[in-house]
Amino acid sequence: MFTIFAVLQVLAGYICAKGIFYITKINWLSVLIVLFSVTIPFSVFVMHKSIKCEWLLDLICYTGYLYLGFILYFSMFCILAFIVYQLKHDINLRNFLSIGLGSVIIILFFGYLNAINPQLKKLTIPSNSNLRMCFVSDIHVGSINTIHILNTVVKNIRKANPDIVILGGDIIDIKGISTYKDDFINIISPIVSQYKTYAVIGNHELYTGAQDCINLMRKAGITVLLDKSITFNDFTIIGRLDKTISNRKKLNEIIPADKKNLIVIDHSPDSIDESIRNQAFLHLSGHTHGGQMFPMNLVVRYMYKPTGTLDKINNTYYYITYGAGFWGPPYRIGNSPEVMLIELTKTN
């Protein structure tokens, strides 16, 4: 997979270089564009070789992630432009490519601003008891602009004033442990709610080191649910281990006999059907980011149930959040990051 990814990046970089050369006629700029396309594969290769130069690797990797959005969109536009030119030779290809280049830069600029500013989104679900719950997933502490995103998440949680806060996995990434440990504790720990803050782990906590992530979250005052249930008021909440843990318990092995209004928190949405079979009242997941960037949103829509939309099958409501952060390219194009306020409202 790494080799395929690297080859595709270089190919996209080459296409972009051809387009830029057609606009500028500058050879060295075209060469630079191709070289930049290997920044992420190069940084991953160096890390696997255990070469210690962390600040340089960070710079290369972050530059590569920023650049990844450019070569994705501009290469797509270049292909489209050359196809149109072959069909209709009377267009000015240089002007057409210049318009595309400017459009891509504008799209990425606003996509970046969108990605680093999660918004508070509210859902109301009829229930037989009241509960205000904040659900936040996929913060990916350790990515670009971690502190800004964390502060924005906490600001939205305080604005929502929930009864309980639940973190839905992929909260911490590799750099979250080594670089942002103290920031995470200082920003997250002041969160106050009636029933505390709970979390489940996602696949990125496992990549980072599950126990290190759990310890860090506990230091920040977060209770981590590892295939465990809690019952309070008129609700039972189950926090599941991530699906990548092959020996995790089945849902029916975790559900207590005296369950009330069962709410299942699982980082990956693959288990929604299992929650439906076990008559859960509500299932909450993250993981998908809604594809994060077009056209990946189309792939995610095909692979999973709809993201960012409350739906119901039989007696089970379910919601897959877009998440509050991002992974890889720091862009959100086609959806917006979110902090969810889910109001369970008592009805007659």
| Cα(162)–Cα(168) distance, integer angstroms | 16
pLDDT of residue 314: 93
pLDDT of residue 34: 81
Phi, psi (degrees; rounded to nearest 5) at 328: 80, -125
Tokens 């390219």 — which residue? 329
Low-confidence ranges of the chain (pLDDT < 50): 48-51
pLDDT digits (tens, 9 = 90+) for 128-173: 899 999 999 999 998 888 899 999 999 999 999 999 999 999 999 8
Classify the phi-psi angles of 251: left when phi > 0, otherwise alpha if psi is within -120 to 50, otherwise beta: alpha
pTM passes above 0.85 = yes
Closest CA to 328 of 302, 301, 294, 293: 293
Domain architecture of the chain: domains with CATH: 2-115 (no CATH), 119-346 (3.60.21.10)
- In sequence order, the β-bridge partners of residue 133 are 164, 342
pLDDT of residue 124: 95
DSSP label at 263? E
pLDDT of residue 50: 46
pLDDT of residue 51: 45
